[in-house]
Amino acid sequence: MKIVNVDSNIKPYRILLGNGIRYDISDYLQPQYSSILLISDTNVADLYADDIMQGLQGYDSVYLEVVHAGEQSKSVDIYYELLTKAIELGLDRHSLIIALGGGVIGDLAGFVAATYMRGIDYIQVPTTILAHDSSVGGKVAINHEQGKNLIGSFYPPSLVLFDTATLATLPTKEIRSGYAELIKEALIADEEWFEKLLSEPLARLNRDSLTEYLKKGIEIKARIIEKDEKELGIRKHLNLGHTLGHALETKLGYGVMTHGEAVAVGLLFAMHVSEAEFKINLPKEKLSRWLEENNYSFNLSIEMIDELIDLMKRDKKVIKQDIQMILLQNLGEPVIHSMDVTKMKDYLATFIAQISKSRK
């Protein structure tokens, strides 16, 4: 088992990574919880909920709530339904919520925990590669019709339990999605690692390498969170690729493109803008080729520009009316950059033209 400690200012916690550790969950629960609510989705519950429930047999009151798989469940309606369930099941301030699933479940169940009776403990049990990112750092949220994650809190989990065995059942598109966040972390932190991540096609990825990559990604994130938990400064670097990525997801409707695929497009765009703004060369072509070879989709067309710009302006990262974006001065050297809307529009147009051409 691998352990990463996060020395959070709000509440320190541990991330455990290991093959099959979901069976031993009760070994890692510290306090005596009065009851436990396991929240999962229709994809994951069938596969792993029983394993977790069995590990919790020592507790009196353990319940399971299953929501529909997909981003649509991060709505205010489902959020409220889960709160209602928690009340009806008699959860109190000494109860625990366990989020079993990908990022959607982690964000949703985490926000329920953050706001149920002004906050109860919760544990993240991520079951996707993508969730290595969302399960660490205490960002919990639901979506507003007008944008992703606009409603939420900073509310760290008590523990993250990452059973790498659960990744074996992931569909290819989920692997693709999660791997994009690993690439993002490498771009922020470490050129050598970036090269390594692109050195092989995804189809040949084995679990040992993946576990190693996940631990590395988590460590990069943990060190950033320790310095800036509330995202006032350097934590924003983790939004590399997300300004366009989020806008694209919202524009297409959640679920059309996976989060990671949208971020992958965003990463390319961030490199495109960085090259122009800083007059540098980045391995944009290399990343673009690798993404294409690994069947990442590229849903962008000139007609979308105005709407995407509007959505980017509405993003959390907007300060007044400039668009704030994370750029790279070099590999491993992210910076926060403010740009006016007209310039952004031009960049988006040249970017779409360039990529569309190279992909023909």
The binding site consists of 103-107, 127-128, 139, 148, 166-169, 181, 242, 259
Does residue 255 belong to the site contacting a second copy (CB under 8 A)? no
Does residue 206 belong to the site contacting a second copy (CB under 8 A)? no
Nearer to a second copy, 95 or 166 (CB): 95
Asked whether the beta carbons of 324 and 336 are under 8 A apart, the reply is yes
Binding residues among 213-252 for a second copy as defined by CB under 8 A: 230-231
Smallest distance, a second copy to C-beta of residue 282, A: 28
- Binding residues for Zn(2+), by number, are 181, 242, 259
H helix or E strand, kind and range, residue 334: strand 333-339
Strands 139-144 and 147-154: antiparallel
Report the distance separating Cα 90 and Cα 24, nearest Å: 25
Binding residues among 265-294 for a second copy as defined by CB under 8 A: none
Instruction: Give Cβ neighbours of residue 197 (< 8 Å, ≥ 6 apart).
Output: 179, 182, 183, 186, 213
H helix or E strand, kind and range, residue 186: helix 172-189
Nearer to a second copy, 93 or 207 (CB): 93
Report the distance separating Cα 34 and Cα 62, nearest Å: 9
Rounded to the nearest 5°, which phi and psi values hold at 101? 160, -160
Smallest distance, a second copy to C-beta of residue 55, A: 22
Six-digit token pair at 2? Answer: 């691998």
The distance between the two most distant Cα atoms of the chain, rounded to a whole number of Å, is 63
Q: Which of 31, 57, 58, 88 binds a second copy (CB under 8 A)?
A: 88
- Quick one: DSSP state of residue 322? B
Report the distance separating Cα 357 and Cα 342, nearest Å: 23
Query: Would you call 143 helix, strand, or coil by DSSP?
Result: strand
Report the distance separating Cα 28 and Cα 38, nearest Å: 16
Report the distance separating Cα 255 and Cα 251, nearest Å: 11
Nearer to a second copy, 155 or 213 (CB): 155
Nearer to a second copy, 154 or 351 (CB): 154
Nearer to a second copy, 27 or 307 (CB): 307
Smallest distance, a second copy to C-beta of residue 291, A: 30
Nearer to a second copy, 19 or 72 (CB): 72
Does residue 90 belong to the site contacting a second copy (CB under 8 A)? yes
Nearer to a second copy, 90 or 253 (CB): 90
Binding residues among 44-83 for a second copy as defined by CB under 8 A: 76, 80, 83
Smallest distance, a second copy to C-beta of residue 24, A: 26
Does residue 29 belong to the site contacting a second copy (CB under 8 A)? no
Report the distance separating Cα 141 and Cα 110, nearest Å: 7
- Binding residues for NAD(+), by number, are 103-107, 127-128, 139, 148, 166-169
Q: Which residues of this chain interact with a second copy, rule CB under 8 A?
A: 34, 76, 80, 83-84, 87-88, 90, 92-94, 114-119, 139, 141, 144-147, 149-154, 230-231, 313-314, 316-321
